[in-house]
């Protein structure tokens, strides 16, 4: 589990094909002193397993499975690409963002990126907007954000100067792809309502009307 509070940005140093998997080497200023082989690290919002750690060089290796490549933007990575990094959360630390699993729900694309005062307004389009709620939470490339506005499959967020400085979100161009993870609570509520509906005879039209189907 993660919080969506990016700890560092990393740079892709190498990409190697490994029998369907892709092995990436990432260099960053992320503190790896307490990371061991097998630990989870969020890379642009996708939970990856650190398979080797070089603390002296501030680098780690991670294998990306075919499934992860198919459902995330990690297939777009090139040598020199910048990525947002976060180590797995600890139960004895503050939850500054929201609960993020690192399991990407869909790939969205950037529709709008413009300065607003000292910050930025970003707009995105996703496959489904039913989990998006104004003032609710969403993770974009591993960054915990508050949804400002929702219109169908589109949503907008405000990026404060601190987030702009410590993540790569505001450097993206129109139509760039991003990893999107919806809030866990909404997905569990939908599952519960649908399962209850099938067993108790709840009208499917009512579920559709309220965006659950």
200 pLDDT above the threshold of 80: no
Q: What is the pLDDT of residue 60?
A: 98
Residues 71 and 110 in one domain: no
The torsion angles phi and psi of 34, rounded to 5 degrees, stand at: -105, 15
Residues 148 and 178 in one domain: yes
Structural contact between residues 169 and 143, judged by C-beta atoms closer than 8 angstroms: yes
- Residue 178's domain is classified under what CATH number? 2.40.30.20
Residue 40 lies in a domain: yes
**Total tally of structural domains belonging to the chain:** 2
Residue with tokens 């990432």: 26
Q: What is the pLDDT of residue 95?
A: 83
Residue with tokens 């094909």: 17
From 138, 126, 120, 125, select the one nearest 184 (Cα to Cα).
138
Stretch 145-160: mean pLDDT, rounded? 96
pLDDT tier, 165 (very low <50, low <70, confident <90, very high otherwise): very high
Residue 206 lies in a domain: no
Specify which residues 15 forms β-bridges with.
Answer: 24
pTM for the model: 0.89
Residues 126 and 181 in one domain: yes
Residue 199 lies in a domain: no
Q: What residue numbers bound the domain in which 159 lies?
A: 106-187
Residue with tokens 């508050």: 146
34 pLDDT above the threshold of 80: yes
Residues 53 and 124 in one domain: no
Residue 170 lies in a domain: yes
66 pLDDT above the threshold of 60: yes
């Amino acid at each position: 589990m993660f919080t969506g509070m990016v700890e560092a940005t990393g740079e892709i140093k190498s990409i190697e094909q490994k029998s369907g998997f892709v092995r990436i080497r990432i260099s960053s200023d992320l503190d790896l002193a307490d990371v061991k082989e097998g630990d989870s690290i969020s890379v642009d919002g996708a939970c990856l397993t650190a398979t080797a750690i070089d603390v002296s060089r501030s680098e780690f290796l991670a294998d990306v499975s075919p499934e992860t490549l198919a459902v995330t933007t990690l297939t777009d990575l090139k040598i020199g690409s910048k990525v947002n990094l976060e180590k797995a959360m600890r139960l004895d630390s503050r939850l500054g963002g929201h609960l993020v699993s690192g399991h990407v729900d869909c790939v969205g694309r950037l529709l709008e990126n413009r300065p607003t005062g000292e910050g930025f307004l970003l707009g995105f389009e996703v496959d489904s907007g039913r989990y998006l709620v104004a003032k609710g939470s969403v993770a974009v490339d591993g960054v915990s954000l508050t949804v400002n506005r929702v219109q169908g499959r589109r949503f907008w967020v405000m990026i404060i100067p601190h987030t702009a400085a410590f993540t790569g979100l505001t450097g993206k161009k129109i139509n760039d792809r991003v990893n999107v993870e919806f809030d866990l609570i909404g997905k569990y509520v939908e599952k519960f309502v649908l399962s209850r509906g099938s067993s108790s005879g709840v009208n499917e039209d009512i579920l559709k009307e309220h965006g659950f189907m």
